[in-house]
Amino acid sequence: MSHRGPVRVHDRHTFDTLIDARSPAEYALDHLPGAINCPVLDDEERRIVGTLYKQQGAFEARRVGGAMVAANLARHLREQFADRPASWKPLVYCWRGGMRSGSMVTWLRLVGWDAQQLAGGYKAWRGHVIERIATLGPQLPLRVLCGPTGSAKTRVLQALAARGAQVLDLEACARHRGSVLGAWPGVEQPSQTAFETLLAQALEPLDLRRPVFVEAESSRIGRLAVPQPLVQRLRASPCIEIQASPAERLAFLLRDYANLGDDRAALARQLGTLRELHGGQTIARWQGWAAEGALEPLFAELMALHYDPLYARSQSTHLHQWAQRQGVQASALTDAGIEALADQVLALAAEI
């Protein structure tokens, strides 16, 4: 068995398995990338032990909690860890690197595995995420892809990535398209902390000597806040605008947002959130189209009355290099047209 010093976050890749010993609810909120959840206390057990600690003190909480921990560790040894070889090297963490991960490490070492405990636990990981975003964000050589709603910006980003370009896809990390109707069907957004973990993961492998393409975003994507170091860098970076006709954009939206017609009642409810901006009469008309599944007139008016005016205001206000933007012309927003746009963007970015 090795007798190394404290294991830090940057050492995590040297282990065979990352084990999150926290409760399932804590794990679901956020966890180290690649970690498996093997709780020493489940959510209800953690609640019981916490209540005992407050009401009867540390001894009673440890007496009752110790039995729960032992039962859970026995189950993990029988199930999750049953096929691990003698050479297995797991790294275990809990909230602060305390008793929960410590108890698991003790038992795993008694078996004979070279188990280690992450110093500082999840809190150390959280500090690492915040530091990485704060350090790398201001250094990113961003090229900001702009264009009004329906310009296929996300699809162009994907085509750029397929060509080997570096891409920071904020909407993929947030699991949201960013607009009022941008929720991914059937997919919940991550927690704020999990979103930031995904961002830190995306930032770490980037080569800061090469351009990084990103879509123009506001400071919020759905219910999630984009960290300020990224917001400020995005706003200060050169812009490339996709220029497409309203007809092409409408056709693209009808293809890309076709799923909104699957739940007409939900679409109508979401449109109701725009009542203060557009008034009851306009919203009633839009909700009527939503109820009928009439997406073409609905999207046409949303573009003309909501998205395009908002775009015109926000870009000039928030993007500091907006006046110096470079444009790429979309002949079409079909698959072939998007591939051609990606080639144009790459050629233009080489000149910026």
Catalytic residue (choose from 38, 94, 173, 239): 94
Q: Is the alpha carbon torsion for 30, 35, 37, 40 positive or negative?
A: negative
Residue 313: Cβ-neighbour burial (10 angstroms; 0-12, 13-18, 19+): exposed
SS3 of residue 169 by DSSP: coil
* Residue 239 annotated in active site: no
CA atoms of 214 and 236, how far apart (whole Å): 13
Asked if residues 141 and 210 have their Cβ atoms less than 8 Å apart, the reply is yes
157 Cβ partners below 8 Å, 6+ apart?
145, 167, 169, 213, 214, 215
Asked if residues 169 and 263 have their Cβ atoms less than 8 Å apart, the reply is no
Asked if residues 263 and 293 have their Cβ atoms less than 8 Å apart, the reply is no
CA atoms of 202 and 183, how far apart (whole Å): 21
Torsion angle of C-alpha atoms 300, 301, 303, 304, degrees rounded to 10: 120
Asked if residues 289 and 295 have their Cβ atoms less than 8 Å apart, the reply is yes
Catalytic residues: 94
